Amino acid sequence: MTDAQVVIVGGGVMGVSLLYHLTKLGWNDVVLVEKNDLTHGSTWHAAGLCTHFAHNPTIQELRATSVRLYRDILPSETGQSCGFHASGAMRVTKNPDRMDEFAHVAGLSDFTGYPLEVLTPERIAELHPLATLDGLLGGIYEPDDGHVDPTLATNAMAQVALGKGGAIWRYAPVVSISQLNGSWYVETAKGAISTKHIVNAAGTWGWEIGKMMGLNVPSVPVLHQYLVTDTVPVVAERIARGLPELPIIRDPEESWYVRQERDGLILGPYEKEGQVWSVDGCPPEFGADLMPPDLDRVEHIIEAALQRIPALETGGVKSVINGPITFTPDASPLIGPAHGLPGAWLLTGSSMGVMEGGGSGWFLAHWMTHGAAPMDALAIDSRRFGAWADRDFRVAKAVECFGLQFGVHYPNEERPAGRGLRLSPLHDLMIERGAVMGTAYGWERPNWFSDKVNDKSDETFGRANWFEHVAREVDAASNRSALADLSVFSKFEITGPDAHLFVDTLGANSAPKTGRVGLIHVLTAAGGVASEFTVATLSADHVYLTSAAAAEEMDLDLLCKRANGFNVSVTNVTEAFAVIGLMGPESRAVLGKLTLADLGEGFPWLCVQEIDVAGVQSRAMRVSYLGELGWELHLPTDQAVQVFLALEKAGAAQGIGYYGAFAANSMRLEKGYRGWGADLTTERSPLESGLSFLTKTKDREFVGRDAMMARENPWDMVLLEIETTNVDPFYAHSVLHDGRPVGIVTSGAFGHRTGKTLALAYLREPGLRTELQVKILGKARDAKILEQPPYDPANIRLRS
């Protein structure tokens, strides 16, 4: 039996990149096992496109890191080229919404520093002389993009890793994986390895290797093809004249890409109805193989591409590459710890594994060696899909992602496939009352309430159809009372003699006393915010925690890991409790009709009590994310409907309303409350996030404390009021000072109670207090820092 610190399963671009980065970070006892030779999965036949275009800063960084690696670092380390062609790339469109999207992504790039240029049709003609312009509104240019030879890049990473002590076992298929006493045992055809860490980097086979590890990896292979032309005379002529390589061109509306390949072209179409392949297990004998060409499926897309690039027709088809790409339910890779399996990691599911591979290996290697991800991992965290992501969901979402490979990403986007998986007991009631649903970690949850049946949110970058409806919801919640279904929260019970002690040492704040509710941020080793828990201490041996829906698996892993050494049990009770929010100045009167409990002085703000509501024992917490008088009622799932109906009846005379997630978002921004996942991430500490009042460092030890205190050049979170009309901030807008990017918006909305457009943003130059602007959809708009929340800064309404 061989011993190793890490075993990586899979020698594609992703696995080899991890081997490279781990060995460079000093973890040299690493074995990569590969069933064939390196790159014999999806990697060898990829078209090699590398881009900087992304809506999320982390994903953009993965892509930019790959380019730097393939273009500059590996060639200097090995003395050999990876076949990187710095051709640049562009996307062109006829769709005005797409132009908004381009402006948005270009705005993000002001902050991240990767140049993107919004194009006019004239500029498109200049940059891509083979493109026709009919109907085009414009485009976006990515000057640092290009394409790489995936095999050369993978082999270059392998060469460096081998030189640093990493090992590669070729022709060593993994046949079983097991776990005993904190070690993993990996059985291969060339012998067994015992290891502390195991990484699934099996790409197309990610699901099978996941099954061996005891996981349901939510990725599905979908067939994608591209065709390579023979010589295209005009391209050959350009080469003969010494002209630069043509930029890669994509038409997202027509769903194709074209790049120069020697003196010909490559055309890659993405059809709307993708064809899934080997959903229940990719054949083990499948290797560096291809499917037969199937151009009928994509004929209409080829037609569209010919209209835009007529020179394609002059080439003739030399070959067609048809192979599997894995798609996760949101088309982003699965990177990070595997839920519930200490020492197990995922680095798989990438449908853009070449452009993301170099960066993904860096990201996971940093996470494994430092105990914390180098950037916010939420968009790629391997635990963002739970056990609810069943086979039908995986397939439906993979097909949807493939078809919408180039779809516009609108703010608050809700895609239709794979819906209705996790339903609160109040779901049907919500629909009857006009709820327009969104999703959160598989749950259906009301986003807003319409006066029409089966209404939908507009897809737009501007103000959507729900704006006035949200205004009505806010009116009810701030002037009368309003009900909400908040059942999607993740919920955990900590029980046992050490329950209070455990929670008291868990994070940046101490645990509330019995009968009280508090907020605790749990930190990463690097001092960033990993989790945010609302903590209700029911007794010294019983503490109840709630957190964001999307955090369920991450928080459960974190609690179980940190509970080691304490005499406590951690139980996930997410589905055992439903939660009803009752908010507004009349909420006391409404609730008072259904309970004998003292809701006045006997039940102050930030307290928890078990009370009887309409005959149902309810865990009532006097808290409000909206900044109003109100209660959250946590009660057994099967009794939620009866309590909801009773509350509705009790409030009917006073015009009780409903509110959804959009109204809650608007109202919490008026209070300056930070949202986990958007404003609070592992990148920034609670101190940088303006939460020093929830951070107790004196005479306390907790994970991340010293790292948080020692942070150099800290960032500063500010609440901004922005001058805009008809467009509201949402996410990832650059903040400018003197035209220079100095920060980034993490969330925003219009505040209906204050009439202000608000955003939370991090500034990397904390001294800056004036002359700020926020760039929304390409236009810089004046912004000022609000030194205190614009709504009820003294919390009079909360305490009333």
Q: Which of 596, 548, 546, 593 is nearest to 573 (CA)?
A: 546
Distance of CA 241 to the CA centre of its chain: 46
Q: Dump strand ranges (E) for 277-355.
A: 317-327, 334-337, 344-348
The 10 Å Cβ neighbour count of residue 149 is 19
Name the 3-class secondary structure at 184. Answer: strand
Residue 499 · residue 542 · CB < 8 Å: yes
Binding residue for ligand FAD (CB under 6 A) from 121, 173, 343, 714?
Answer: 173
Nearer to ligand FAD, 10 or 677 (CB): 10
Q: Which residues, 262 to 301, sit near ligand FAD by CB under 6 A?
A: 287
CB of 775 to ligand FAD, least distance (A): 29
Q: Which residue is nearest to ligand FAD (CB)?
A: 203
Stretch near ligand FAD under the rule CB under 6 A, chosen from 4-12, 404-412, 441-449, 773-781: 4-12
Q: Taking the CB of residue 80, how many other CB atoms lie within 10 A of it?
A: 12
Q: Rounded CA gap, 404 and 398, in Å?
A: 10
String of contacts with ligand FAD for each residue 519-558, x by CB under 6 A = ----------------------------------------
Task: In angstroms, give the least distance from the CB of 401 to ligand FAD.
Answer: 13
**In this complex, which beta carbon is closest to ligand FAD, that of residue 150 or of residue 512?**
150
Taking CB under 6 A as the rule, does residue 42 contact ligand FAD?
Answer: yes
Question: Shortest distance, CB of residue 605 to ligand FAD, whole angstroms?
Answer: 50
- List the interface residues with ligand FAD, window 618-657 (CB under 6 A): none
Taking the complex as a whole, how short is the minimal distance between the CB of residue 351 and ligand FAD, in angstroms? 5
Buried b (16+ CB within 10 A) or exposed e, 535-572: bbbbeeeebbbbbbbbbbbbbbbbbeebbeebebebeb
Could you say whether residue 218 binds ligand FAD (CB under 6 A)? no
Q: Which residues pair with 635 in a beta bridge?
A: 578
Q: Which of the stretches 37-45, 242-250, 609-617, 629-637 binds ligand FAD when contact is defined by CB under 6 A?
A: 37-45
Q: Is 85 in the site for ligand FAD (CB under 6 A)?
A: no
Under rule CB under 6 A, residue 226 binds ligand FAD: yes
Q: Give 208 or 493: the residue with its C-beta nearer to ligand FAD.
A: 208
Residues numbered 350 to 379 that lie near ligand FAD (CB under 6 A) are 350-355
* C-beta pairs of 297-305 under 8 Å, 24+ apart in sequence: 297/271, 298/225, 298/269, 298/271, 301/254, 301/255, 301/256, 301/269, 301/270, 301/271, 302/227, 302/256, 302/267, 302/269, 304/251, 304/254, 304/255, 304/256, 305/251, 305/254, 305/256, 305/258, 305/267, 305/269
Our finding on whether 48 is near ligand FAD (CB under 6 A) is yes
Two tokens at 75?
């060639």
By beta-carbon proximity to ligand FAD, the closer residue of 201 and 429 is: 201
Least distance CB 756 / ligand FAD (angstroms): 42
**Count of helix runs (H) and strand runs (E) in the chain:** 20, 38
Backbone angles phi, psi at 594, to 5 degrees: -115, 5
CA–centroid distance for 406 within its chain: 17
The dihedrals phi and psi of 635, each to the nearest 5 degrees, come to -145, 160
Structure tokens at 737: 């000072």
Contact between 153 and ligand FAD (CB under 6 A)?
A: no
DSSP 673-736: PPPBTTTB-TTS-TTTTT-GGG---TT---TTHHHHHT-SS--EEEEEEE--SS----S-PEEE
Pick the piece of the chain touching ligand FAD (CB under 6 A) from 3-11, 369-377, 556-564, 566-574: 3-11
Q: Reduce the secondary structure of 62-86 to three states and give it as a string.
A: HHHHHHHHHHHHHHHHHCCCCCCEC
Using the contact rule CB under 6 A, the part of the chain among 114-122, 197-205, 512-520, 769-777 near ligand FAD is: 197-205
Question: Is the CB of 224 or the CB of 491 nearer to ligand FAD?
Answer: 224
* Residue whose structure tokens are 């402006």: 103
Which range binds ligand FAD by CB under 6 A, 200-208, 446-454, 767-775, 787-795? 200-208
Q: Which stretch binds ligand FAD (CB under 6 A): 7-15, 101-109, 449-457, 464-472?
A: 7-15
Q: Applying CB under 6 A, which part among 316-324, 534-542, 661-669, 670-678 lies near ligand FAD?
A: 316-324
Residue 33, classed as helix, strand or coil, is strand
Which of the 8 DSSP states describes residue 322?
E
Q: How far apart are CA 268 and CA 305, in angstroms?
A: 9
Pick from 6, 27, 31, 40 the residue near ligand FAD by CB under 6 A.
40
Q: How far is the CB of 356 from ligand FAD (least distance, A)?
A: 6
- Asked if 174 touches ligand FAD (CB under 6 A), the answer is yes
Rounded Cα distance between 393 and 657, Å, is 34
Q: Strands 657-658, 482-485: parallel, antiparallel or unpaired by DSSP?
A: parallel
User: Considering only 40-48, 82-90, 422-430, 786-794, which stretch makes contact with ligand FAD by CB under 6 A?
Assistant: 40-48
Q: Which is nearer to ligand FAD, 292 or 767 (CB)?
A: 292
Residue from 6, 8, 9, 563 in contact with ligand FAD (CB under 6 A):
9
Of 249 and 321, the one with the shorter C-beta distance to ligand FAD is 321
Among 255, 348, 490, 746, binds ligand FAD (CB under 6 A): 348
Site map 439..468 versus ligand FAD, x via CB under 6 A: ------------------------------
End-to-end Cα spacing for the chain? 68
CB of 431 to ligand FAD, least distance (A): 38
Per-residue x/- mask for ligand FAD, residues 102 to 141, rule CB under 6 A?
----------------------------------------
Chain residues binding ligand FAD by CB under 6 A are: 9-15, 33-36, 40-43, 45-49, 173-174, 201-205, 224-226, 287, 321, 323-325, 348, 350-355
